[in-house]
Structure 1
Amino acid sequence: MTRLIEPVRTAPAVARSGGVRSRVGWTFVLLTAVAIVAFSAVPYFSASLAELAEREVGLAPTYAQAHPLVQGALYAHIAGGAVALLAGPLQFWRGLRARLPRLHRWTGRVYLVGVGIGGVAGLVIAPSSPAGYVGLFGFGALGVLWLITGWRAYRAIRRGDVPSHRAWMIRNYALTYAAVTLRLWLPVLLLAPLALGLPWEFDAAFADAYAAVPFLSWLPNLVVAEWLIRRRGLPSYRLPA
C-alpha cells in the first residue's frame, strides 16, 4: 500500500543557540499555559459540578448530569491536561536538559503520564461534547493523535533516537497546547460577525464558534509544529511528490 506520508530524514540536528525570539516564544507558551490552568482548570476542583453548572462555569453545565464515569473522565482529562500543559515547556528548556538531565527525564515521564491520562479520558468525554458530531470527531481525533504522538516520542527515546524524540515531542506538545489555542480562537470567532458587520447574537455566535474549535484548536498547531521541526533539522514528514 502506498504510504501517504513519508518521513524526511535530514542531516543531524545542530543545537541552535537560544535567540531572543526563541526565549520570547518559550516564555509566551509557558505563561499562557499557566494562565489556562489557573483560570480554566483549577475552578473545576474548587466546587462540585452542580455548583459550577449553576454559575455556568466552562463545561460544567454539560456534564453536571452526566454518568459518574463520564464525570470522572472529565476530571481526569482536566487534571492530566493541566499536568501536561505545565510540564511540557520544561521539556524544551535547553538549560534543564543540559544541566539537569535526570530532572529532564523525570519531568518527561510526568508529562507523558499526564498525556496518557488526559488522552484516554478525552476519548471518553468526546461523545458528550456540546459541539455534537463535530466535537466527537474533532476532539476524538485530537485524543487519538495526542496518545499516538506521545507513544512515538516515548518509543524514540527508549531506542536512543534523540532527534526523532524531539520531533515527536514538538508535535505532541502542539496538541497539548490545543487547550490554549481553543480559548484564543473562541473570542476571535465569537466577535468575527461584528467585525464583518453581520447580525450578532451571543448564543448563536458562541454556538457557531464552538462548532469550529474542535478542529481549529489543533490542526494549525500541527502545521506550526512541523515548520519548527524542519527549521531545527529534525526528522519531518512530507507528502510524496
Structure 2
Amino acid sequence: MTTTAPPRIEPPADPAVRRRRVGLGVVAFLALGVTLTMLSIYGSASLDELAADDAGLAGAYAVAAPFFQGALYVHIVTACVALALGPLQFVARLRRSRPRLHRGVGRTYLGAVALGAVSGLAILPVNSAGLVGVFGFGALAVLWLVTGYRALRAIRGGDVATHQAWMIRSYALTFAAVTLRLWLGLLMGAQLALGAAPDAAFANAYAAVPFLCWLPNLVVAEALVRRRGLPSYALPAT
C-alpha cells in the first residue's frame, strides 16, 4: 500500500512582508506606466513633430543643437531601462532562486543609471527649469551616480547589507521620473482649481519639481533602510 504525503500548507505571510510586496507592486506598476508612456511618446515622432503637438518638453529640445538632442534620447532610454528594471532587484525570491539573473539585472540597471546620469548632466544647459533646474536636476544626476557607485563598491566588497541600502537609495532617485510627474500634476491641479492659467500653472509647478521630485524620495528611502535594519546615516550627537 502506498501513501501520499499530506499537502504542504504554506504559513500565512507576515503582515510586514505582505505590505512590502504590495508597496513594491505599486512602485513597479507606476514605474512601468511611466516607462511605456515616455517610450511611446518619444519613439512615435520626431522632436519637431512632438513640439508642434506641444508634447512633453519636446519644444525645448527641438531647437537645441544635435548634441543635446542625442543626449536627451540617451537619457530617456537609459532612465526608462533603470526605472523598469529597478523593482526586480528588490524581489527576494529572485535573489535567492536566480542569483545569476539578479546579478545580470543589477549590472544592467547600474549601467543604465550611469549613462542616464551622465546624459542628464549633458542636457542641463537646455533644461526647461532654468537655473533651478541646473542645480536641482544636476544634484539628482550626481547623487544618482554616487549611489550607484556605492552600491557597486559594496557588493564587490562582499557587504550585502550596505549594497542593499545603497540600491534602495539609488532607486529612490531613479523613481524621481515618476514622482516628478505626480508632483507636477498635483501642483498644476491645485493652481488650476484656484483659477490659474494653464501655462502659468505649468511654469510654476515645473520650477518646484527639480528638487521636489527627489528630496522626499531620499527621506522615504532612508526610512526604509532603517526599518529593515540596514546600514543608515545617523546625525551626529549634540
Structure-2-length-normalised TM-score: 0.91
Structure 1 alignment gaps of length 5 or more = 1-15
Matching residue of 2:228: 232
Matching residue of 2:5: none
Contact conserved, 1:78 with 1:118, CA < 8 A, in 2? yes
Matching residue of 1:203: 199
Cα offset for 1:17? Answer: 8.3
Cα offset for 1:18? Answer: 6.1
Contact conserved, 1:40 with 1:58, CA < 8 A, in 2? no
Cα offset for 1:227? Answer: 0.1
Cα offset for 1:40? Answer: 2.1
Contact conserved, 2:38 with 2:76, CA < 8 A, in 1? no
Matching residue of 1:72: 70
Deviations 1:91-124 (A, max 9, x none): 0001100100000000000000110110000001
Change (3 A) 1:18 1:104: farther
One-letter amino acid of the structure 2 residue matched with residue 167 of structure 1:
A
RMSD of aligned alpha carbons: 1.3
Task: Give the counterpart of 2:103 among 102, 105, 109.
Answer: 105
One-letter amino acid of the structure 1 residue matched with residue 42 of structure 2:
Y
Change (3 A) 1:202 1:194: closer
Q: Comparing both chains, which one has the higher relative contact order based on Cα–Cα distances under 8 Å and sequence gaps of 6 or more?
A: 1
Rounded Cα–Cα distance in structure 1 between residues aligned with 2:74 and 2:40:
13
Cα offset for 1:151? Answer: 0.4
2:169 alignment partner, SS class: helix
Aligned residues with identical type, % of pairs: 61
1:237 alignment partner, SS class: coil
Cα offset for 1:129? Answer: 1.0
Rounded Cα–Cα distance in structure 1 between residues aligned with 2:88 and 2:168:
12
Cα offset for 1:65? Answer: 1.2
Rounded Cα–Cα distance in structure 2 between residues aligned with 1:182 and 1:153:
24
One-letter amino acid of the structure 1 residue matched with residue 69 of structure 2:
Q
Contact conserved, 2:192 with 2:198, CA < 8 A, in 1? no
Matches within 5 A, 1:11-160: 19-160=17-158
Matching residue of 2:173: 175
Rounded Cα–Cα distance in structure 1 between residues aligned with 2:195 and 2:49:
34
Change (3 A) 1:214 1:31: same
Rounded Cα–Cα distance in structure 2 between residues aligned with 1:42 and 1:156:
36
Structure 2 alignment gaps of length 5 or more = 1-13
Contact conserved, 1:127 with 1:135, CA < 8 A, in 2? no
Deviations 1:5-28 (A, max 9, x none): xxxxxxxxxxx8862211110110
